[in-house]
Structure formats: structure tokens, C-alpha cells
Amino acid sequence: MELEARHEYREELAQLERRALDGLQLVVASLDRTVEAVRHQDIELAELVIADDDVIDGRYLEIHQAILTLLATQAPVATDLRLIAALLHVMKNIERMGDQCVNIAKLIPIAGHQPPADERVVGNLVTMGNAIRAQIRQAKRAFAERDVEMARDLVRQDDVVDNLNRECFQLAIEIGDDHDRREWAMTMMLVARALERIGDNAVDIGEQVAFVVTGLFREFEDASHPGGVVEPQRSP
């Protein structure tokens, strides 16, 4: 009974997943550069981040097309169908993460060539960046290994990032009266906000892991329903 049927299709599906999850590696590379650009307030490096986002967008289009082809030609069902639906979400999250890196990169020139940078704020943002980097890598591993517990743990890590974001806000408030410093601090708040959103995207990927494994989609945490379960809406 256990004979290997649909060999090519299985291979295609596995390849599709690898290519999609490798997109997370592209995000990690982009994030690393972004954090470096923040650390050194490096405008040239920021421009490189913006230019390289095309690679992530290209991956998004590639996976999107491959998924359409697979749906049209192979009619996947059950776990396969859930995997494909999840990959579509994951790829969208990857694309959003890349865009957030671009958003950050565009903020760096606004702060100018010799910005009145505050060591503690920059340090905070770098710590955030590193925490998010770990989140992305963990999301990738949780997906590849179909590990729901590891995926759920992303929520705990995201709390750390959220706290760093609040700290950054506090540091910005306490930055003093100097106009330029205040303006710089405001810009870095936007950087923190964009980083925090990347962390949220990693949690979203974790939710897709749970969906692939269990067949049920539930948000791990929902800001509008803290601790509660949101039931799917039924069309009338």
C-alpha cells in the first residue's frame, strides 16, 4: 500500500517550502544590514538595504506563481493544501518584513550625516534587532520542523521586543530639550516601531505553523481580544 505516488509533486512541494522559508534567510540578511546601518547611522548601507529589497520581492512573486501553478495542476488537499495556504501567508509576511527594513533604511538619511545620536537609544534598537533576528530564525525552524511549541514560544520572545520598544519610547521622552536631538529621537521611535512590526510578522508565521499542524487557525495573541479566542466569521 505504501508505494511512493506523485513523486514529482511531492518534490515540487518540498522545494516550494524550502524556497519560501529561505526567504526568511533573505530577511535576516536584510535585517542585519539594517541594524548595522542604525548602529552606525550609515546612509550608504541603508541605500543598499533599499536596493536589495527587490530580491525579497522577487522571491515573493516566484513563490506566489509557483503556488498558483501547483493549485491549478495538482489540486492539493488536506495537509498539502494547508501547507500551501500557510506558505502563501508566510511569503506575504516575509515580503512585509523586507518592506519594514526598507522603511527603517529610508528613515536613516532623514536623521542626517552627523546625527546627535544617543548611545542608549541606539543600543536599545540594536538589542531589539538582535532579538528579532532570533525570532525570525526560530520562526523558520519551527515551520520547517512543524514544531508548534517552538512556534508558540515566539509570543514570549515578542513580549521581550515589545518591552524594548516601550523602553525606547521612554528614552526618547527623556532625551532632553535640544530640538535636533528630539527630532532624531522621534525618527528612531519610528525605527523601533518598524522593528517591532517585524517581530509581529514572525509571530504570524508561528500561527501558520500551528495551522499546518492542527488544521485550526487561531491567533496566538490578539491585541483586540487579549487572552481570548477569536472565532471565524461565518458568511450569512
Task: List residues binding another protein (CB under 8 A).
Answer: 1-3, 5-6, 9, 75-82, 215-216
Q: Which is nearer to another protein, 4 or 177 (CB)?
A: 4
Exposed / middle / buried, residue 28 (Cβ in 10 Å: 0-12, 13-18, 19+): middle
Minimum CB distance to another protein, residue 81 (Å): 6
189 phi-psi bin (left φ>0, alpha ψ -120 to 50, beta other): alpha
Minimum CB distance to another protein, residue 72 (Å): 12
The angle at the Cα of 94, spanning 124 to 58, to the nearest 5 degrees, equals 125
Contact 31, 129 (CB under 8 A): yes
C-alpha distances in angstroms, 228 versus 189, 224, 231? 30, 9, 10
Q: Which is nearer to another protein, 2 or 119 (CB)?
A: 2
Minimum CB distance to another protein, residue 134 (Å): 31
Minimum CB distance to another protein, residue 229 (Å): 18
Q: Which is nearer to another protein, 83 or 111 (CB)?
A: 83
Q: Which is nearer to another protein, 75 or 230 (CB)?
A: 75
Contact 143, 21 (CB under 8 A): yes
